[in-house]
Structure 1
Amino acid sequence: MQSPIQPDHASNFSFLGYSDQGGRGDGLQVMVNRGHAYVAHMFSNGFSVIDVRDPRTPEPRTYVAAPPGTWNLHLQAADDLLLVVNAANLFATDAFADEANYYGKSVGEVFANRPIDYTAGLRVFDISRPDEPREIGFTPVDGVGLHRIWYTGGRWAYASVLLTGFTDYTFITIDMADPSHPQMVGQWWIPGQNLAAGETPTWDAKRWRYGLHHALVAGDTAYGAWRDGGLTILDVSDRAKPELIVHKNWSPPFEGGTHSPLPLPDRDLLVVADEGIADNAEDGIKRTWIFDIRDPANPISLSTLPIPDDADYVAKGGHFGPHNLHENRPGSFVSSTTIFATQQNAGLRAYDISDPFAPRESGAWVPPQPETMFDVRPNRPRVIQSADVFVDANGVAYMTDYNAGLYILQFDGE
């Protein structure tokens, strides 16, 4: 067993194990399937496979490199398949070396006249042998590529994609009937995004970035987070023709960055996190909202999750505030009362939302300062940036970090 890593702050989580992911400590999205963690890299490109059958002694097994100039920063594992996005590595682009440009510019317009020196599309791997991913399919797209994807098995996947002619990422449905040849079937975008069709943005494109981060689908309903474009709820009963139920936006007056949705259908609730996107909270203190969605056409905000206050995280540096939510995937820890969320420089948090009008923090674990920096961008502060969390059915939490590897923790709360 590894020596315990001493957190900067902890409550109702205990340390189990740690991995530097084979020397590639930068991690973004993480999936755990059949005792193996699949970690997408943010700066190393590609993805890694780590044997976590004993979470106290995780062992890196495989690294799969991305094509040149390409991001694989998001992935999904289900049905012995691993779906991996391919897109231009935006942080390797001069135009987005400054974070403010990445979060504040229309990505599509920046790339409109840029040479294509990357691969864009969706890669599919057979992971029936969990530590030996074998590529079985690839579907290219014309444009910057896919950003994030949602797939829990079966026929349909859903993704955000930036296609040529659009200002930013839009929603698509993907038919996985033949995993060797996934097919893009349906698409929906916020009117004003389709420049190629003569549309023009109705928002201030110099200040607000309208682009889909991703959507989660429950039944025939897709819940989408559109950065400064807020929330959409779509009817996807016809996967080829998604239809808008409601578009709700709270920026302005709030500062946008809507990033992560989590529907809780059994309670008619929806949790939505706005991402903190600037150092020292220069973009304002971001919130995670709880909506009542009994009437999907009229989401009503009930409350926001507590903001970590056990330290001065604004002064700590780097990004502070919400990033990703554990997504209640089939076979994982599924709860409509306990929510897990990464808070970037404030680590991992658990919340009890039994009373949606008065949610409370029920656990926390904040990693220590990273020993090695993997963020290649200039002038980045040396602080943790907890990125994503996957919690298995036994309450074991796998938390990634841009700079600090994979932490494996046991949730000790209720």
Structure 2
Amino acid sequence: MSFAQPDHARNMRLIGHSDQGGRGDGSQLMVHRGHAYVAHPWSGGFSIIDVRDPRKPGAATFVPAPPKTWTIHLQTHDDLLLVVHALDLFAEAAFADEKDYYAASVGDRLGTAAGAAKARPWSAGMAIYDISQPTRPQRIGFFPVDGVGIHRIWYVGGRWAYVSALIDGFTDYILVIVDLADPTRPVEAGRFWLPGMNKAAGETPTWGEGRRYALHHAVVEGDTAYACWRDGGLTLIDVSDKAKPRLTVHRNWSPPYGGGTHSALPLVDRNLLIVADEAVADNEADGRKHTWVFDIRAPENPVSIVTFPIPAEADYPAKGGHFGPHNLHENRPGTFRSSSLVFATWQNAGIRAFDISDPYRPKETGALVPAAPERMIDRRVRPRVIQSADVFVDAAGLIYATDYNAGLSIIEYGG
């Protein structure tokens, strides 16, 4: 297969590419049993791509979403695939301007924070599929949500899934723990939110206009959920009692920094926590965003000790689109796992690798910036530049990366 050569590469090599069956838009991806499961932000559904030969990806199987429904994040483990269902927010008039999605509580903007029932011509919740036959997913269960829906999931097998859910009566997405003892009949086990989010119970937001406190997602290690709340910062939550999650500590560095706290990667064997703040505005209009390294030897008092170096081989702030951190490879069971090598997406600056052997001196050790998309799938008016979205590294060390428009890139790291 021929593909466009990257705009920049250092210690990484593009070895394969898929246009995902003509649906080049991708958000979260999982690679499982030789197949890439790619969630689409614009095409309305998800695709399954045969990557058993990573140099020649095979055909894509597309599974459409219900009408008006986002299925932008998903998780795989063993024979299960979990897929979010939520209102397609970027199709809503309230968020026609991208910045409005990030600058205010979604529940307030849509009127659902008041808790009033309304007709919902979309699907809200979490769909559960049997993927024992990878390209023939069979839906076996559904966890419904009375509200806008679910944004993202953390599930690595076993009984519990941890989801960010926007439920009627809340200003934005909160943490909900789902019991999957019977995956055909999932039930809620418990929930957690930041004070001020439960508007239906009379709580009053304290964070002011132009800010958004909303759980993007939590990564769970042991009995701790490391949860990122966009402009609400970071929490460590004790989830040993699933019915009553309990706050350990809340840290927020916005202001003075620009918020957008998105992804956490706990490296508990080294008492470290990596936290990425998402860039959510073009040309750094939301300020310089960072990936932070925290010392968590005292979990009740996480201390930031350094930030990752910023890509600088080109003028990325002037390139157009978003420049800054987005997702981290999350060291899931069965994937490439390291406490010293971190893989990240940097949006218009592509995919990056960082060596944190010395946690006080992180070093960039590899980079690949894919070529601009040949055509735009994003229905919004956006610049035609790469916007690397998610990164997944398999057990053999191959890197898979999605883009909002440019398809699936498969990359070898030279380290």
* TM-score normalized with structure 2 length: 0.98
* 1:75 equivalent in structure 2: 74
Alignment of 1:354-393 (within 5 A): 354-377=357-380, 379-393=381-395
**Aligned AA for 1:283?**
D
Aligned counterparts of 2:229 and 2:156: Cα–Cα separation in 1: 21
Q: Is the 8 A contact 1:82 1:126 kept in 2?
A: yes
Q: Is the 8 A contact 1:5 1:15 kept in 2?
A: no
**Aligned AA for 1:93?**
E
**Aligned AA for 1:266?**
D
Q: Is the 8 A contact 1:4 1:16 kept in 2?
A: no
Q: Is the 8 A contact 2:94 2:110 kept in 1?
A: no
Aligned counterparts of 1:333 and 1:60: Cα–Cα separation in 2: 25
Note the C-alpha offset of 1:60.
2.6
Note the C-alpha offset of 1:62.
1.2
Matching of residue 404 in structure 1 with residue 406 in structure 2: yes
Q: Which moved more, 1:85-94 or 1:55-64?
A: 55-64
Secondary structure of 2:250's match? strand
**Aligned AA for 2:207?**
W
Aligned counterparts of 2:340 and 2:37: Cα–Cα separation in 1: 27
**Aligned AA for 1:354?**
S
Aligned counterparts of 2:79 and 2:13: Cα–Cα separation in 1: 30
Alignment of 1:154-233 (within 5 A): 154-204=158-208, 206-233=209-236
Aligned counterparts of 2:186 and 2:319: Cα–Cα separation in 1: 44
Aligned counterparts of 2:186 and 2:75: Cα–Cα separation in 1: 14
Q: Is the 8 A contact 2:167 2:173 kept in 1?
A: yes
Q: 2:278 aligns with which of 265, 271, 275?
A: 275
* 1:337 equivalent in structure 2: 340
Note the C-alpha offset of 1:4.
5.1
* 1:348 equivalent in structure 2: 351
Note the C-alpha offset of 1:116.
1.7
Note the C-alpha offset of 1:339.
0.2
Note the C-alpha offset of 1:3.
2.9
Aligned identity (percent) is: 65
Note the C-alpha offset of 1:5.
3.2
Q: Is the 8 A contact 1:79 1:154 kept in 2?
A: no
Aligned counterparts of 1:89 and 1:17: Cα–Cα separation in 2: 30
Note the C-alpha offset of 1:115.
4.4
* 1:135 equivalent in structure 2: 139
Secondary structure of 1:59's match? coil
* 1:45 equivalent in structure 2: 44
**Aligned AA for 1:405?**
G
| CA RMSD, Structure 1 to Structure 2 (Å) | 0.9
Note the C-alpha offset of 1:322.
0.3
Alignment of 1:6-85 (within 5 A): 6-85=5-84
Matching of residue 124 in structure 1 with residue 128 in structure 2: yes
Aligned length: 410
* TM-score normalized with structure 1 length: 0.98
